[in-house]
């Protein structure tokens, strides 16, 4: 198995193929010996690529699914239990649903997904959404009011609900209150907020799919970041997305929090109760951003 590479470049083709071939050869013993976090990422990715996509494709067209379609997922859930992982964990529940649905489709049954229909979006909900979207600002001045942990967790949860390439769900966080680590985040171009939300990635997750382009990995973190700044505003906080000024800054955090080598620090967002209401930096007119309509 190739080492975990935390840089931002594309993986060389030989390395992609090495990971691909190693993945094909994974035995039950390999899975049983694997770290639980990496195993869970592999379950998410494999079931996404070998079952989820096929199930929804067949369901939509009322097509019969091959009776072996769910075999790999079934093997992974068997290993899940053998590893002693809880069957209450989200992957186990979701994959069980996919397997059950695949088996119905393989038997030629019609599958009704109407109970999963999202809440209908009313005009009021739509307006609220766009108000939050457009009134979210980068706020760089904060009051001294303490942000409760529950609100921070709600905001971080929003980050986890962002779209994520191949559903590997690599996002991890470090939450740092400035008052507990004064000056640790010095070096940014702004003083920063009372709570620093560091968005990291568990790079072991990407071992599951060697073809994930690095750009997707960074987009995974970006999608989480965007959900986080929007959710912070929706939850009554304000914040600003910030930039690690250099590697030394990241190394300082890595050392302080004893982060293992497989954790990549990507970006961070500062949040708190806002003490300023900046004029919105106005945006392009959408018609001037469309390079073509074909
Ligand atoms: C990836 C990223 C990095 C950013 N880094 C910084 C930063 O280092 N310092 C800062 O003051 N603002 C930073 N910002 C905030 C932008 O300056 C801000 O989003 C932009 O000026 C538009 O303003 P608005 O967010 O209020 O709409 C960053 C935003 C993004 C998305």
| C-beta 118 within 6 A of ligand 1 | no
Tokens representing 133 are 């979207």
Instruction: Categorize the per-residue pLDDT at 191 as very low, low, confident or very high, splitting at 50, 70 and 90.
Output: confident
Residue 189 alpha carbon, nearest atom of ligand 1: 9
Q: Where are the domains of the chain?
A: 13-106, 125-272
Closest CA to 196 of 171, 179, 217, 220: 179
Distance CA 116, CA 98 (A): 13
- Tell the residue nearest (CA) to atom 19 of ligand 1: 138
Calculate what percentage of the chain has a pLDDT beyond 90.
86
Distance 87 CA to ligand 1 centre (A): 41
Distances (CA, A) of 23 to 19, 30, 174, 199: 6, 10, 30, 28
Q: At what angle do helices 214-234 and 149-160 cross, to 10 degrees?
A: 140
Residues 75-79: what's their mean pLDDT?
98
Confidence of residue 1 (pLDDT cuts 50, 70, 90): very low
- The answer on pLDDT for 121 being more than 60 is yes
What is the average pLDDT value for the chain, to the nearest integer?
A: 94
What radius of gyration do the chain's Cα atoms show? Answer: 22
- pTM for this prediction: 0.94
What's the pLDDT score for residue 66?
97
CA angle 206, 222, 153 (to 5 degrees): 90
Spacing, Cα 240 to ligand 1 middle (Å): 6
pLDDT at 36 over 50: yes
How sure is the predictor about 190, in pLDDT bands with cuts at 50, 70 and 90?
confident
Residue 117 confidence class, pLDDT cut points 50, 70, 90: very high
* Mean pLDDT score, 136-154: 98
The answer to whether the CB of 243 is under 6 A from ligand 1 is: yes
- pLDDT higher at 9 or 79: 79
Q: If DSSP codes are grouped into helix, strand and coil, which group holds residue 256?
A: helix
Strand partners, 198: 174, 268
Tokens of 65: 């699914």
Q: State mean pLDDT over 151-157.
A: 98
Sign of the CA dihedral 206, 209, 214, 218? negative
Q: Is any ligand 1 atom within 6 A of the Cβ of residue 138?
A: yes
Which ligand 1 atom lies nearest to the CA of residue 280? 26
Helix/strand/coil for 179: coil
The reply to whether ligand 1 has any atom less than 6 angstroms from the CB of 137 is: yes
Please give the Cα distance from 292 to 37 (Å, whole number): 44
Closest CA to 110 of 58, 40, 46: 58
145 Cβ neighbours under 8 A, 6+ residues apart: 272, 273
Average pLDDT on 81-89 reads 98
CATH number attached to the domain at 125-272: 3.40.109.10
Q: Is the CB of 240 under 6 A from ligand 1?
A: yes
pLDDT at position 2 is 47
Per-residue model confidence (pLDDT) at position 14? 86
**Cβ 82 vs Cβ 129: under 8 Å:** no
Ligand 1 pocket member 232 (CB < 6 A): no
19: pLDDT confidence band, cut at 50, 70 and 90? confident
Beta carbons within 10 angstroms of residue 283's beta carbon: 9
């Amino acid at each position: 198995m190739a080492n975990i590479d935390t840089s931002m470049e594309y993986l060389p083709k030989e390395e992609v193929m090495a990971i691909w071939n190693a993945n094909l050869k994974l035995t039950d013993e390999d899975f049983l010996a694997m770290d639980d976090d990496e195993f869970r990422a592999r379950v998410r990715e494999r079931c996404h690529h070998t079952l989820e996509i096929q199930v929804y494709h067949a369901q939509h067209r009322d097509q019969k699914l091959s009776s072996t379609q769910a075999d790999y997922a079934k093997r992974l859930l068997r290993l899940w239990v053998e590893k002693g992982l809880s069957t209450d964990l989200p992957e186990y529940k979701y994959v069980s649903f996919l397997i059950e649905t695949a088996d119905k489709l393989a038997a030629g049954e019609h599958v009704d997904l109407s109970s999963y229909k999202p809440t209908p979006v009313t005009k009021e909900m739509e307006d609220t959404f766009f108000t939050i979207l457009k009134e979210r600002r980068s706020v760089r001045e904060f009051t001294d009011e303490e942000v409760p942990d529950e609100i921070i967790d709600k905001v971080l949860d929003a980050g986890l609900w962002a779209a994520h390439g191949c559903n590997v769900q690599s996002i991890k966080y470090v939450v740092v209150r400035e008052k507990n680590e004064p000056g640790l985040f010095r070096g940014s171009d702004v003083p920063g907020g009372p709570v620093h939300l560091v968005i990291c990635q568990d790079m072991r997750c990407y071992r599951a799919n060697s073809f994930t382009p690095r750009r997707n990995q960074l987009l995974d973190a970006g999608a989480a970041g965007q959900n986080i700044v929007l959710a912070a505003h929706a939850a009554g906080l304000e914040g600003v997305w910030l930039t690690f000024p250099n590697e030394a800054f990241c190394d300082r955090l890595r050392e302080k929090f004893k982060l293992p080598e497989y954790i990549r620090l990507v970006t961070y967002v500062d949040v708190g109760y806002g003490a300023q209401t900046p004029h919105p930096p106005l945006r392009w007119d959408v018609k001037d951003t469309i390079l073509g309509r074909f």
